[in-house]
Amino acid sequence: MKKNLSLLVAAFAFVAYSQSAWAAFSIDELHTATKTAVDMFKKDQAEHAAHFTGYKSWLSGEEAKVKVYVSHDGMTMDFNYLCHKHDAAIECHAQ
């Protein structure tokens, strides 16, 4: 039992260390960054927003990246956003 508990504590410590060392965004923050980027897309690319087909988001070092996809008259396009954490706020910028 003691050995299992030690392994569990070690595994938890590794996961906690891995997330803090390699990912500046939590899962909830990645969702917030994605929402921020998609909202920015809808505002800045209003003519394309009606043709929205999806998005993907991922972590890249200490940044989050969001790619928004549209399909308009048979032509597919994507719009890229780079998101950073600034204190408690998450800011995204079109690339």
Per-residue pLDDT of 16-64, as tens digits, reads: 444 444 447 999 999 999 999 999 999 999 999 999 999 999 999 999 9
Q: Is the pLDDT of residue 1 over 90?
A: no
Of residues 58 and 86, more confidence is placed in: 58
pLDDT score of 86: 85
Whole-angstrom CA distances from 47 to 40, 42, 66, 78, 89 are 13, 8, 19, 13, 28
Structural domains of the chain, with CATH: 24-94 (3.10.450)
| Band of residue 92 on the pLDDT scale cut at 50, 70, 90 | very high
